[in-house]
């Protein structure tokens, strides 16, 4: 057997004992042969604790065979994706949509060429649920029920995919992934959720916890990756162009970060906009990186204008003029 795969199996055996997988999936055409599914295979277990649920474990994001990546201490992308799905009726046949979901998550990594970490969320173009159902995003965490693993190819960990709704994703950004997961896990042990579950926005007690926590503590969500961020030097200052989705993130940045004395960074793969609590002034600027001081005691005019849907906003950073343009 391949050394990377042996390390994964040993880590799972340490928790699951000699319980064999109930099912195994593998693609008809592999990713390296031009197929659409990056994972080599997925093992599926039926578990009873802490509640009856399916455990799906992907293989293929770490190096299963020979070492090929240039980082000796990390195996491949450094993680294998897992998902836990509630099975309250102890069905004998597992659903297959979680396999598609794990492969969609893996595709995001291979296409973007950027690995994923616990606490991040992903909204790939294709996130699969059962027929007729589409998840809004995937929140990632280190699966607390599974250990890390190590082979001659380097270290790896199991990242659990937790599907969330759009409103839940907003709450995660407003407060923190860990605190959100604590609230969710109190209702869905092991975060073994169901795709048709009610969002926490429909649970008044849970939603109150999330809202009050965000207001009290602010957000740990300090960086947002966006598709569009352009910085252009002008005769009088800078023009900043962002997408409509990024404008919502900037409103969040003031209300849940800057107001609590915490910086916020908006970035693409090659461009960075950093907002720093402090007097309104330009701290540093190039056409790939711009840092701006933002007053943190009172809401700046631009935050209110963005929240109201404004598309072109004038800002001031000392003597430097800034213009923020929001594309539809």
Helix, strand, coil distribution of the chain in percent, nearest 5 = 30, 35, 40
CA distance 17 to 185: 24
Sheet holding 272-277, edge to edge: 223-225, 264-267, 272-277, 289-294, 281-285
> Where are the alpha helices (H) located in 113-199, listed in sequence order?
166-174, 177-187
The stretches of 58-127 forming alpha helices (DSSP H) are 97-112
Tokens of 54: 């399916």
Q: Can you tell me which residue has the tokens 């943190």?
A: 296
- Residue 176 is predicted with a pLDDT of 93
Q: How confident is the model at residue 305 (pLDDT cuts 50, 70, 90)?
A: confident
Can you name the residues that pair with 154 across neighbouring β-strands? 151
Mean pLDDT, the chain, whole residue set: 89
pTM of the model: 0.81
What fold is seen in the domain 223-327? Gyrase A; domain 2 (3.30.1360)
Q: For residue 312, is pLDDT > 50? A: yes
195-202, long-range: CB < 8 A, 24+ apart: 195/85, 195/97, 195/129, 195/130, 195/133, 195/135, 195/163, 196/130, 196/133, 197/86, 199/164, 199/165, 199/167, 199/168, 200/165, 200/167, 200/168, 200/171, 201/165, 201/167, 201/168, 201/171
Cα–Cα distance for residue pair 306/315, rounded to 1 Å: 12
* Residue 110 in this model has a pLDDT that exceeds 60: yes
47-61, 160-174, 237-251, range with the lowest pLDDT? 237-251
Least confident of 89-98, 129-138, 237-246, 276-285: 129-138
Where in the chain are the domains? 3-215, 223-327
Q: How many CB atoms lie under 10 A from the CB of residue 222?
A: 12
Query: Which tokens belong to 301?
Result: 């005019």
The CA distance from 271 to 173, in Å, is 21
Range of lowest pLDDT (137-146, 216-225, 315-324): 315-324
Q: What percent of the chain has pLDDT over 90?
A: 57
pLDDT score, position 77: 97
The answer to whether the CB of 218 falls within 8 A of the CB of 259 is: yes
Q: For residues 288-310, give the mean pLDDT.
A: 83
126 has pLDDT over 60? no
Structure confidence at residue 81 (pLDDT): 98
Spatial contact of 266 and 276, defined as CB atoms under 8 Å apart: no
């Amino acid at each position: 057997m391949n050394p990377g795969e042996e390390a994964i199996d040993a880590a799972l055996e340490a928790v699951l004992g000699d319980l064999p997988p109930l099912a195994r999936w593998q693609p008809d055409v592999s990713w390296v042969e031009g197929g659409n599914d990056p994972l080599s295979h997925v093992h599926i277990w039926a578990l009873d604790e802490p509640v009856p649920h399916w455990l799906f474990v992907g293989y293929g994001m770490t190096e299963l065979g020979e070492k090929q990546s240039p980082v000796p201490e990390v195996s491949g992308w450094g993680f294998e994706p897992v998902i836990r799905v509630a099975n309250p009726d102890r069905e004998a046949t597992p659903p297959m949509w979680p396999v598609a979901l794990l492969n969609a998550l893996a595709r995001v990594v291979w296409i973007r060429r950027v690995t994923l970490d616990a606490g991040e969320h992903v909204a790939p173009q294709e996130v699969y649920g059962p027929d007729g159902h589409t998840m809004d995003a995937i929140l990632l965490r280190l699966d607390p029920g599974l250990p890390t693993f190590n082979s001659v190819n380097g270290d790896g960990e199991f990242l659990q995919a937790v599907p969330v709704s759009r409103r839940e994703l907003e709450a995660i950004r407003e407060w923190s992934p860990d605190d959100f997961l604590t609230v969710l896990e109190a209702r869905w042990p092991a975060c073994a959720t169901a795709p048709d579950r009610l969002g926490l926005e429909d649970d008044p007690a849970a939603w109150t916890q999330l809202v009050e926590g965000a207001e009290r503590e602010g957000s740990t969500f300090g960086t947002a990756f966006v598709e569009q961020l352009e910085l252009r030097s002008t005769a009088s200052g800078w023009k900043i162009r962002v997408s409509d989705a990024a404008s919502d993130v900037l409103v969040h940045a003031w209300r849940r970060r800057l107001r609590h004395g915490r910086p916020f960074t908006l970035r693409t793969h090659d461009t960075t906009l950093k907002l720093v609590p402090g007097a309104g002034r330009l701290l540093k600027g190039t056409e790939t990186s711009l840092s701006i001081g933002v007053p943190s005691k009172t809401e700046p005019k631009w935050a209110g204008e963005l929240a109201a849907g404004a598309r072109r906003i004038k800002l001031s950073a000392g003597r430097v003029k800034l213009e923020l343009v929001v594309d539809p």
